[in-house]
Structure 1
Amino acid sequence: MQNAPLTQPLADEELDQLDALLAQIGPNSMTLEMVDGYFAALLCSPELVQPSGWLPRIWGKGYSLESEEQFTLATTLLMRHWNAVAASLRAMQDSETPYQPVVQEDDDGVILGNDWAMGFLEGIDTSPAGWDELLDSDDPENPLIPFMILAYENDPDPEMRAKEISPEEREFVLGAMIDGLEAVYNYFEPMRQTGNASREPVRRSEPKTGRNDPCSCGSGRKYKQCCGAATPTQH
């Protein structure tokens, strides 16, 4: 389907083809899962980033492709996936249809989500304008918390890692990340409409969860012993 319109989502075999092309580019290129999270963050951001701004980050340093045809194919597939992610985010907002991330299973059939979360944070780094308020917030219900938990889960710096995540907790964190994606997308919608990457400070409509209060995730544990303990240290 190399001549398919750029608005046509990738079929499963085309996603596999793009995944293989990314793997051939070099050790520093993103995985398909990272690309999906990366595009989601860029499309949530208040400022539009042109392909010339995000393509180099996907390729990584020292990339190479065997031919111009491969480069054209990979770029075309990426553009189609960009448009598909954009359409899915709009559908999520308009019809309350949950976003379906492109995530891969490990050898045991478990969805980890680490690459997707790392791709999302890479997107924030590529288009940082307007994100400071969320990144600097100590609100225990900050929608970026599950992204950070998964992105830093295997970080070489132990102080950046969250507490160990059980299979049940991982399922909850993955769900919270998708809910957080919708919250972030809606949060920045006024800025995308106006092109102004600033807004009034967030004002909570509900009381802030105290560290000794029951955790809002429903685990029955105190917040400081549950999701509060899972918030990674920022440097």
Structure 2
Amino acid sequence: MKFPQYNPELDNPDLNEAELDQLENLLNAVPSDSAMDVEGLDGYLTALLLAPELPSADDWVPRIWGGQAGEDPPFSSGKQAKRVAQLALRHLASIDRRLRADVETLEPFFGIAERDDADGTEGLDPDDPFWIDAGQWSAGFLVATELLPQYWEPLFDAPEWAELLAPLIQLGGEEVPEDLAQLDALSRQVPDLITALWEHRATVGTQQTEG
């Protein structure tokens, strides 16, 4: 199945709540542990935009549901697969607009929960009623880095990036911290990484699309 390529010149309005719910439901119905949820998708799309070139949609879209280019989508109809691709493209455009306008205003789709004393609050900010979990977001981000190893591997290997990338790697890995204070602290460092990566991207070229 061929998927439409991203074109930033097209009118791609932000997804509304109903469309986000539809996207979440479509992804939740995929019979694969590798399928992303909306938080993971947000991280995945953000990482795609933080690299200097965008892979073909035929390569990056199937990863959303845990597939590979050329494989049949795991949906009951081609219409559902195309709908997921359409919604993902619009969300990609939304993230792109925010990055280009002001990266500091980007609001990543992190998990946010109201603190419950039963969960334990030691180490958390007593003045903040919420704790943040960027685990799924980070896992989705790391999937995107596999599509452009020639760009990402040097960054992951560079000593000067080690401290900034460490929270992302830990959150997106197989051993996500169980301690809420540690999870919250690591998650709150990710926005600074996004800003740094966006600024770095500007030094290596402008986003290119492939069609």
Q: Where on the TM-score scale, by shorter chain, does this alignment land: which range?
A: 0.7 to 0.9
Matching residue of 2:192: 179
- Residue of 24, 28, 40 corresponding to 2:29: 24
Counterpart Cα distance in 2 of 1:140 and 1:81: 28
**Matches of residues 141-152 of structure 1 in structure 2 within 5 Å?**
142-152=163-173
RMSD, aligned CA: 2.6
Q: Give CA-to-partner distance per residue, 1:96-121, whole Å, 9 cap, x none.
A: 42x21113346967532111001111
**Matches of residues 136-175 of structure 1 in structure 2 within 5 Å?**
136-139=157-160, 142-152=163-173, 155=174, 161=175, 164=177, 166-175=179-188
Asked if 1:34 corresponds to 2:40, the answer is yes
User: Which of 1 and 2 has greater Rg?
Assistant: 1
Counterpart Cα distance in 2 of 1:165 and 1:39: 26
**Residue 111 of structure 1 aligns to a residue in which SS?**
strand
Matching residue of 2:100: 90
Matching residue of 1:66: 76
Asked if 1:15 corresponds to 2:36, the answer is no
1:39 to partner: Cα distance: 0.6
Asked whether the 8 Å contact 2:135–2:187 carries over to 1, the reply is no
Instruction: Give TM-score, length-normalised by structure 2.
Output: 0.74
1:67 to partner: Cα distance: 2.2
Going from structure 1 to structure 2, the CA distance change for 1:115 and 1:134 (only over 3 Å counts) comes to same
Going from structure 1 to structure 2, the CA distance change for 1:132 and 1:67 (only over 3 Å counts) comes to closer
Instruction: Give TM-score, length-normalised by structure 1.
Output: 0.67
Unmatched 5+ stretches in structure 2: 1-9, 117-129
Asked whether the 8 Å contact 1:35–1:119 carries over to 2, the reply is yes
**Residue 131 of structure 1 aligns to a residue in which SS?**
helix
Unmatched 5+ stretches in structure 1: 156-160, 196-235
Matching residue of 2:156: 135
1:26 to partner: Cα distance: 2.4
Matching residue of 1:104: 111
Structure 2 counterpart of 1:32, one-letter code: V
Counterpart Cα distance in 2 of 1:180 and 1:148: 11
Counterpart Cα distance in 2 of 1:145 and 1:111: 17
1:143 to partner: Cα distance: 2.0
**Residue 86 of structure 1 aligns to a residue in which SS?**
helix
Counterpart Cα distance in 1 of 2:167 and 2:145: 15
Moved over 6 A (4+): 106-109
Asked whether the 8 Å contact 1:134–1:142 carries over to 2, the reply is no
Q: Give CA-to-partner distance per residue, 1:34-68, whole Å, 9 cap, x none.
A: 11101111100122212111011112247422223
Aligned residues: 180
Asked whether the 8 Å contact 1:147–1:177 carries over to 2, the reply is yes
